[in-house]
Amino acid sequence: MTKKHPVNEKSKQEQLEQFKTDDRNQALTTNQGLKLSEDEFSLKAGERGPTLMEDFHFREKMTHFDHERIPERIVHARGFAAHGEFELYDSLSEYTKAKFLQNPSVKTPVFVRFSTVAGSKGSAETVRDARGFATKFYTEEGNYDLVGNNIPVFFIQDAIKFPDLIHAVKPEPHNEMPQAASAHDTFWDFVANNQESAHMVMWSMSDRAIPRSLRMMEGFGVHTFRLVNAEGKAHFVKFHWKPVLGTHSLVWDEAQTISGKDPDFHRRDLWESIENGDYPEYELGIQIIDEEDEFKFDFDILDPTKLWPEEDIPVKLVGKMTLNRNVDNVFAETEQVAFHPGHVVPGIDFSNDPLLQGRLFSYTDTQLIRLGGPNFHEIPINRPVCPFHNNQRDGYGRQTINKGPVSYHRNSLAANTPAPVPESEGGYAHYQEKVEGRKVRSRSESFKDHFSQATLFWNSMSDTEKEHIISAFSFELGKVKSKSVQQQVVDMFANVSTVLAKQVAQAIGATPPPGEDAPVTKSSPALSQEQTIKKPNTRKVAVIVANDFSGDLPQVLNSLKQQGIQPEIVSTTLQNVKGTDGSELEVQHTFLTSDSVLFDAVYVVGSASADEKFRKEALTFAQEAFEHFKPIGATDEGVKWLKAAGLDSSPGVVTGETTRFTDEFIEAISAHRHWNRHVI
C-alpha cells in the first residue's frame, strides 16, 4: 500500500520556506561559507598590478554573474506568475478519479504563470497576441499541469508545424523586426498559405488579443483531454477558466500607448491587486462529451482549431481558483517553473489531438536546454508536495543525495524497491483506447473544414467587436509590404465573411471579393465579450484634483471605495491637496508620472483656484479617456471644463449636475466601455 500524504493550502508554501534566505544582517561569505574580509577589490600583485588567478572569490563571483541568465523561453518568454489555491465546488467522481477533484473541503495549492507568446522577455505586455495561462496544481498524487491559453483554439492542427508558425511570427531574421508583433510579411504569408489558421486569426484580430488585465482574461486548455473515473469509464473534456470579474479588453490605440507608458502594465496590475488583497479569482469549467458521442458533431472534437460551442456543450463550473500570494523571487519561481501538459495524475488522460501529442514531447525537451538538464523537477518551484522515488540518478543540478547501491528496477539488494504501485492503489495507468491503422503521414478528412467556426466567431460578434476586427486586419495587413500576400489574405478571409474581406480590401488597397455574406444560421453568444460579467470591482479611477477642492469630495471617494473601486489622486505635484473645509488628500500621481490609459475611468474635480495649465492637463486626461470610450465623471469646476470642451452630454459621461452623481458614475464604471458614444 502507498502511504497517503495529505495536502493543504500551506504545504507548498511550507516546502518553499526551507529554500528561502534573508541575507540582511548576515556576514558576507563565499558560496562555500567562507567569511570574507573584502568585497570591493580584486587580489592584485601590487596596487597597480595585474589581478591574480588565485583570487578564488573574484572568480566565483564573476562566474556566477556570467551564468545568471538562462535561455529565455522561445515562446511565452514574457511572463508573470502568482501562487494561489484551488477549491472544488462538488465532487467530480462521476467523471474522474483524480483525488484533487473529489473532496470540496480540500484546498489544492497552485502556481499560475501568464505570458505573451511571440515577444522576447523584454517586450511590452499589451501587444496584440495570444496569452499563456498555465496552472500547476500541487496535488497529493503529484503535480498536474493545465497548460493553456486565453484563446480556446490554435493556429495549427499538427505539432510538426509549430516551428514553422513560430519562425513566421517571430521577428524576421534578416533584420530582427518587428518585436512582439504579427504585423509583418512572414506571419501573414504563413496565414495565407496555411488556411487552418483562419479561426485562430479571427480570435487574434479580436479584442481577446489585447486583454485589459490578466485578472479579466479567460483561460482554456485548448486540447481535448480525457477524464477517467474509478470504474474505468472515460469522457472527453475541455477545460475553461472563467474570470469572476468578467472578460474585458483594451482598445488598440490604448494598448499601443500603454506599451510606451508602462510596458509592465499587466504584471504591475496583477502584483498590485494581490498586494491590495483584491485577489484574482477564476472559476474552473469543464465541457463533457460521452465517448459514444465523439462523432455526432459537425466538427472533429480532436481538432485543436475548433472549439466546442457552449450552447451545444454547456460549460459546467466545478471550482474556483484564487491567486493570493505574489512570488518572492521572479527568477527562482516565475522563470524556473517548468510546465508540461504531460504532467498528469490518475483520472486525467490524453486524446489523439495531434497538436497535443507533439507537445507531450516538446515540453520536456525544452526544459532540458532551458534549465540545464534532467533534474529541473528538483528546483523548489517544480517539486511536488508529495515524495518522489525512482531509479534516476546524477545529471546537471542534482540536489537529491540518493543513499544505497541500487539504481535499477528488479533487484534483490533493496527488496525490489522502489516498486510500481497497482492502479487500484493509485498507480497511473494509461486509458486503454483501442488503436488501429496504418502508419501514415496524413490528416483526417474531418480536420479539413477551416472556415465554418471562423464564420461562427464572426457571426457571434457585436457590431463594435466586428469594427475592431476589421480595424485590426487593416492595421496588420497595412504593415505588410507584399501586395501578393495582402491579396491572398483578403481572398482567404472572404471564406469567413465577404463584408470583412471587402472592408479590409478597401483599407489596404487590395481587390475586394465578389458576392455577399450568406444569411446567419448560427452564432454563439458566449463568444462575444458584450455578454460578459460587468462589475465595478477593482476598477482604477484617476481623480484629478487641485487645492481648494469641494468638501464633498472625500464622501464621493468613500462611496467609490465601498463598491471596490480604486480612486487614485492625480495632481500637479505629489504634495497633499487641501479642500475648502481643511481636509487633505494624498496625491498618488502627477500629470507627468501618469496617463489616462493607465486607468479605467477619469473623474475631473479640479478647483476654482486651478490655473490654466492644470485645466489643460485635466482635459487631456478626459479627452483621451473619451476617445477610448471610458467612463468620465465631473463635479464642481470639472463640470464647467467638460462643457467648455464639448465632452459632456455623451453616454458614459456623468456630471455633478445630477443629484445621483455617485450612483450613476458607479454604473458607468461597471459598463467598462461606452461604445455608443460619438467620438469627436
Query: For residue 10, what pLDDT band results from cuts at 50, 70 and 90?
Result: low
What is the pLDDT confidence band of residue 659, given thresholds at 50, 70 and 90? Answer: confident
So what's the pLDDT on residue 610?
Answer: 95
What CA–CA distance (Å, rounded) separates 343 from 145? 5
Check 57, 143, 149, 223 and give the catalytic one: 149
Q: Which residues contact 327 (CB under 8 A, 6 or more apart)?
A: 81, 82, 83, 333, 334
pLDDT given at position 548: 94
Query: E strand or H helix at 491, and its extent?
Result: helix 483-493
Q: Please work out, in degrees rounded to the nearest 5, the angle formed at the alpha carbon of residue 406 by the alpha carbons of 402 and 411.
A: 145
| CA pseudo-torsion sign 252, 254, 259, 264 | negative
Query: For the chain, what percent of residues have pLDDT higher than 90?
Result: 84
Alpha-carbon gap, residue 244 to 110, rounded angstroms: 17
Q: Please say if the pLDDT value at position 8 is more than 50.
A: yes
Maximum distance among all Cα pairs of the chain, rounded to whole angstroms: 91
Q: Is 149 known to be catalytic?
A: yes
245: Cβ contacts below 8 Å, ≥ 6 apart = 215, 216, 280, 281, 533, 535, 537, 538
Q: Does the pLDDT value for residue 282 go beyond 50?
A: yes
pLDDT of residue 65: 86
Domain ranges for the chain: 79-382, 452-521, 534-670
Please report the pLDDT score of residue 275 as a whole number. Answer: 98
Distance in angstroms (rounded) separating the CA atoms of residues 553 and 565? 15
Give the whole-number percent of the chain exceeding pLDDT 70: 98
The length of the chain in residues reads 680
Looking at the predicted structure, is the pLDDT value of residue 313 above 60?
yes
Phi, psi torsion values for 188, nearest 5 degrees? -75, -25
Q: What would the mean pLDDT of 85-92 be, rounded to a whole number? A: 98
Q: Identify whether the C-beta of residue 596 lies closer than 8 Å to the C-beta of residue 602.
A: yes
Q: What is the pLDDT of residue 142?
A: 93
Per-residue pLDDT tens digits for 327-344: 999 999 999 999 999 999
Mean local confidence (pLDDT), 506-520: 95
pLDDT greater than 70 at residue 5: no
* Interval 93-112: pLDDT, tens: 999 999 999 999 999 999 99
Q: For 24-47, what is the mean pLDDT?
A: 89
pLDDT per residue over 541-564, tens digit each? Answer: 999 999 999 888 999 999 999 999
DSSP string covering 178-220: STT---SHHHHHHHHH-GGGHHHHHHHTSGGGSBS-GGG--EE
Rounded to whole angstroms, how far apart are CA atoms 266 and 249?
12
Residue 257 clears pLDDT 80, i.e. is over it: yes
Give me the architecture of the 452-521 domain, per CATH: Up-down Bundle (1.20)
Question: Between 275 and 15, whose confidence is greater?
Answer: 275
Confidence of residue 517 (pLDDT cuts 50, 70, 90): very high
Q: Strands (DSSP E) along 208-355, which ranges?
A: 219-220, 225-228, 234-243, 281-290, 316-326, 348-350
Whether residue 7 is predicted with pLDDT greater than 80 in this model: the reply is: no
Catalytic, out of 76, 199, 340, 628: 76
Mean pLDDT computed over every residue of the chain: 94
pLDDT digits (tens, 9 = 90+) for 463-486: 999 999 999 999 999 999 999 999
What local confidence, expressed as pLDDT, does residue 226 receive? 98
The DSSP element (H or E) to which 358 belongs, if any, is: helix 354-370
Q: Is the pLDDT of residue 416 over 80?
A: yes
Average pLDDT over residues 435-453: 92
Residue 207 has pLDDT above 50, yes or no: yes
Query: Is 70 exceeded by the pLDDT of residue 9?
Result: no
pTM for the model: 0.94
Neighbour count for residue 423 (Cβ, 10 Å): 12
Instruction: Give the architecture-level CATH label for domain 79-382.
Output: Beta Barrel (2.40)
CATH class of 534-670: alpha beta
